[in-house]
Structure 1
Amino acid sequence: MQGHWFNVDIFMDGDNNAHALEELNRLLNAAGIKEYRVHSGGEPGTAAEAGKPDTRKEPAADKAEAPSALALEIERYKANNTLVRMTVVKGKGVKLDLPCRILNYDAATQNVSIYHVDEKKVYLFRINEIDDLHAG
Structure 2
Amino acid sequence: MDKHSETKSKEDLGYLFNVEILIRNETNAKALQSLLQVLNQGEDIIDYKINSGIELGEIIESLLTEKKKSIISKSYKRLTNAESEKKAPEPKKTTSPFEQFAGSEEFQQWIKRHIADNRLVRLLVNRNGERISIPCRILNFLAETSTINVYHVDEKQVYTFNLNEIIEFSEK
Higher helix share: 2
Higher strand share: 1
When Rg is computed on C-alpha atoms for both structures, the one with the higher figure is 2
For normalisation by structure 1, the TM-score amounts to 0.48
For normalisation by structure 2, the TM-score amounts to 0.39
